[in-house]
Structure 1
Amino acid sequence: MGLSIASFVPAVGLAQVPAYLAAYSGRSSWLAMAASVVAFTLIGLFITVFARRFIGTGSLYSYIRHAFGSWSTLVIAAAMIPGYIVAIMSLIVGVGVFFGSFLVSVGVANAAGPGIQLLIYVVATLVAMTIAYRGIDLSVRSSVILTVISLPVMLVITIATAFSGNVDLAGQFSLNDFTLNSFLQGLAIGSAYFIGFEGSAALGAETKNPNRNIPRAIIVIPVGIGLFYLAGTVIQVPTLVSAADKLALGISPNAVLAEAAGVGFLSNVSDLVLAVAIFASLIGFFNYGSRVVVSAASDGLLPSSLVKVNKLHKSPGAAIAFIGVPSLIGPALLLWLTPASPLEINGYIATLLVYFWVIPYFLICIGGAILLNRTKGSRSFIVNVGAALASATVLWLYLNGIINPGPAPLNALPYVMIGTFVVFLIALVVSIRSKEKKRVLAQR
């Protein structure tokens, strides 16, 4: 459970979720965040339907076959394998953004430039891969320690904001600035911070009593961390709305909050601890993503060499490298070949990440309902309503990018995701058919 919580960098969510929500949903942001918590709690409950019954090493990839059969594993793999690569890319760039900002604050003027950013990317990636390779125990210890180190600063800033006298509960609960469009935009933003929350399911075979502990590790994110983000939203949004002009100038939300709450001395150090928090998440996602790759390789979708596990550390070194290398190359190319800043690049990658998880979450909600209806027909109405609400929320994450497109290149990302998904799906189908053909020929 420690790695599950650490992977969702509560300090970073506390620094970013209220700020992004405030920009779109204003003082009604709490309602959009609450809806996101409810929706992803439902999704989490449907995932735990599988986690209580089955033990797997591929997270949703391992679960989905129990509802839909073998075809669904191809679909899930075609979305989740590139999805984990994109997730790790986002975390690598996130470390660069916050550590670079900290370096700028202490006098390193060109810390946001390609040279230093690339150095940060390489070091962060190699260290995280090494920790993941050294085994799950070291990964858990490292991630939990880094999370414990990083969280207090944002907690102090948020608590100081709560006592600053600008929470304005009456103004927030009046919903005077509520509109359906701003609510739906806020729902998409709030939901984005739960993407990949089920990653701990990939460690089922390496967890004690997995049918009990994995469901707990999954549901603690939308419930525990979700309520944590909701409280932060209620506390921070009034100050952030009032300081919209400062945010527009590029001042970070944590700096705005710290200054307004009288703890401005924490502004600079907050960037450093947020970089540390994201690095903790990076370790977790290397562990999760590599296990999904191993599961897919075990089923013949990927080269069999990716199944190999180090005897000493019991970690899939080849699978870690398989997702680590492209995860490092991608941000490096974007940094050198485009005029976008690291912050802009991170926004693009994070948006693309959301789209990759739409198909897996949509299928798992429907699949969870199918399993429950097989065994508990008397509750089928409640189950089906829950599945409809959860899957509709997930589908909205994708449709929002088409209905409310951002400026280029954000407006192209829904189609980039579909194109990548199709390419991976075709490649996986070709791979498994080729191996089946070779097996048939070998038996003759």
Structure 2
Amino acid sequence: MEHLEQQDPPRDPEVSLEHGHTSLGALTVLGLSAQQIGPGIALAGGYMILYAGNASWVSMLVALVVSASIGAIVVTFSRRLVASGGLMSYVSSVLGPYGRALTGSGYLIGLLIAAAAVTTGVVIFTASFLVQIGATWAASPLAQGASAVVVAALAGAIAYRGVDTSVKVSAVLTFVGIPFVIGVTIAAALAAPHYSIAPQFDFSSSDFSWSGIFQGALVALSYFVGFDGLSAMAGETKDPKENLPRFILLLLGITGAAYVAILWFQIPALAGGTKLLENGDSPTAVLAHLGNVGWLAAPLDLLMAAATFAGLVATFNYGSRIIGTAAEARLLPRGLAHVNPKFRSPSRAVIFLVIISAGIPIAFELVAATPPLESSVLLYTLFSYCYFIPYVVAAVAAIVLVVRERRANPLMIAVYAFAGISFGYLLFYALTSAGGGAFGALPWIALILTAVGFVGLLIVDRRSAGAGEALSDLL
């Protein structure tokens, strides 16, 4: 018996994630899929024009700069620590259990909500496509609830089979629709009377007020919030301390440039379709209508469904690693840390994400009688709010880290402080200016969920005697 006890290691080294296996290119493909660059450029103009008008690209640029400050924090930590828990791991290494609990509560809750939001996004596009080809039954609550289950299960099956399979699927589905989005944008621009991008650079116009730009930036931030979660896969890349900073630069550079550029060309074309957008028509359908290529609306819905599905696969990949790391540290049920010996994936964490990401949309649809489009807006906004506190805590941790190491570069401290102040103010603004109804309640719901999660994680951490204090690369 004594011999058996000595042979019981904490983890079989052959049943772990495949470290040093994923290339920078493969990680970038997953990152662009997770950030849904295809649907992002398809929807950017339609969403932004209603909030910021001709100043939309400036609002997007502001959101990119604020997000880049979080990227600087991730880079600072990733050069010192290879971690599969994302910001939760990084903050834990500096601020200990209280920092871990505060970051982890918002981070984990936001991750689960994000998975449900992306699942809902796929359901929206697939239902729209089916309705447009005559399958009106696809708009029923029962059909859309069933769609959520099928979509989540398929994405989970791909993520279950590991990173290689996920990259192969994402590489096709993420990018196949982009040429068509660019095509309908060009068609709408050619068909628009007196088309000109010049008004977008008339900084004296009323669109360029600080309040308008700020409102637009709040919307634009939803395109970037959560990108740091991909750092959870750092340990599986070759030379992670070198590649992860490059990955952050590539991810923000590609998505930021794509969104700003597409806004320059979509905003003038969409100026004649704002009524259609306000009535609830999808931006892609409006662009197709304005460009006299309405027959492309249904195929575009299908292509966007595919690209959003690729984003769900990527979310399951990095999200399962964050959940598995928290489980290994006994912050979540330990069984969720299990790594499949064949596919080298956190298989039980993937299954857990499948259940959550299908269950939440079904609850919205069947229990709350909330259709997918409305559910999507609520879930994406709530997910975004959940990340604000973790970002503020991460900024504090980054400042403490460089001061403690006596590497306090004033410029970098200013960048970290800018990140913390920006997201702290955004949370304050959301709480103090929240309106009525479900949408106005979202920042308060995020704050309450984070507080409950914080207390819960602290209790669990104390019961497990501070297990996994650093939350480093545990899987």
Q: TM-score, normalization: structure 1?
A: 0.93
Give 1:406 shift: 4.4
Q: Which residue of 2 aligns with 1:442?
A: none
Where does residue 411 of structure 1 map in the other structure? 440
| Structure 1 equivalent of residue 302 of structure 2 | 272
What CA distance in whole angstroms lies between the structure 1 residues aligned with 2:327 and 2:368? Answer: 34
Aligned-residue Cα RMSD (Å) equals 2.0
Q: Distance in 2 between matches of 1:378 and 1:85?
A: 35
How far off is 1:357 after superposition? 0.7
Per the TM alignment, residue 123 of structure 1 is displaced from its structure 2 partner at its CA by: 0.7
Rounded to whole Å, the distance in 2 between the matches of 1:422 and 1:391 is 19
Q: Matches of 2:436 and 2:257 in 1, distance apart? A: 32
Give 3-state SS (helix, strand or coil) of 1:149's partner: coil
What letter matches 2:165 in structure 1? L
Residue number in structure 1 paired with 2:107:
80
Name 2:154's counterpart in structure 1.
127
Counterpart CA distance in 1 for 2:431 and 2:69 is 25
**Contact persistence 1:258–1:267 (CA under 8 A):** yes
Match of residue 377, structure 2, among 347, 362, 371: 347
2:50 to 2, 19, 23: 23
> Which residue of 1 is the match for residue 279 of structure 2?
249
**Equivalent residue number for residue 392 of structure 1:** 421
8 Å Cα contact 2:148-2:358 kept in structure 1 = yes
Residues 278-357 of structure 1 aligned to structure 2 (within 5 Å): 278-357=308-387
Is 1:213 matched up with 2:240? no
**Aligned pairs for 1:77-156 within 5 A:** 77-156=104-183
Report how far residue 437 of structure 1 moved: 9.8
The structural deviation recorded for 1:311 is: 0.6
Contact between 1:44 and 1:198, CA under 8 Å: does it hold in 2? yes
Q: CA deviation at 1:84?
A: 0.9
Matches of 1:400 and 1:190, distance apart in 2 = 16
**In structure 2, do the counterparts of structure 1 residues 377 and 167 end up closer, same or farther at CA, with 3 Å as the change threshold?**
farther
Amino acid at match of 2:147: I
Q: Is the 8 A contact 2:110 2:387 kept in 1?
A: yes
| Residue 88 of structure 2 corresponds to residue 61 of structure 1 | yes
List runs of 5+ in structure 2 lacking aligned partners: 1-27, 468-475
1:248 positional shift: 2.1
1:365 is aligned, of 381, 387, 395, to 395
**Inter-partner Cα distance in structure 1 for 2:130 and 2:355:** 26
Q: Is 1:170 aligned to 2:208, yes or no?
A: no
Whole-angstrom distance in 2 between the partners of 1:372 and 1:17: 37
Q: Which residue is 1:431 aligned to?
A: 460
CA distance in structure 2 between the aligned counterparts of 1:241 and 1:365, rounded to whole angstroms:
39
Matched, 1:7 2:37: no
Task: Tell me what 1:441 maps to.
Answer: none
Name the SS for the 2:227 alignment partner: coil
Q: Secondary structure at the match of 1:69?
A: helix
Deviates more, 1:173-182 or 1:90-99: 173-182
Judged with a 3 Å threshold, the aligned counterparts in structure 2 of structure 1 residues 405 and 17 are, in CA distance, closer, same or farther, namely farther
Q: Which amino acid in structure 2 is aligned with residue 70 of structure 1?
A: P
2:426 and 2:290 map into 1 onto residues whose CA distance is 33
Structure 1, residues 113-143: CA drift from partner, whole Å, max 9, x if none? 2121112101110011111111111111111
Query: C-alpha distance in 1, partners of 2:242/2:291?
Result: 42
Shift of 1:54: 1.3
1:331-387 superposed Cα distances (whole Å, 9 cap, x missing partner): 10110122322101111111100111111222223323333445575731x223222
- AA paired with 1:135? G
Q: Deviations over 1:155-209 (max 9, x none)?
A: 2223444555665232111131222222111111111110111122111221111
CA 1:241–1:374: 2 relative to 1, 3 Å: farther
CA contact (8 A) 2:88 2:100 kept: yes
Asked whether the equivalents of residues 45 and 219 of structure 1 are also in contact (C-alpha less than 8 Å), the reply is no
CA, structure 1 residues 366+159, in 2 after alignment: closer, same or farther (shift >3 Å)? farther
CA distance 1:216–1:95, shift in 2 (3 Å): same
The 1-side partners of 2:185 and 2:31 are apart by 23
Bigger shift: residues 421-430 or 266-275: 421-430
Q: For residues 317-343 of structure 1, what are the alpha-carbon distances to aligned partners after superposition, in whole Å with 9 as ceiling and x for unaligned?
A: 111122321221111011012232210
Compute the displacement of 1:261 (Å).
2.8
Aligned-residue offset at 1:73: 1.2
Percent identical: 32
What CA distance in whole angstroms lies between the structure 1 residues aligned with 2:249 and 2:301? 29
> Separation in 2 of the partners of 1:330 and 1:148?
28
1:37 matched to which residue of 2?
64
Q: Which runs of 5+ in 1 are unaligned?
A: 439-444
TM-score of the superposition, structure 2-length normalised? 0.87
Q: C-alpha deviations, 1:66-88, integer Å up to 9, x for none?
A: 33233211111111111111000
Residues 239-261 of structure 1: CA deviation (Å, up to 9, x unaligned): 22331112122221111112223
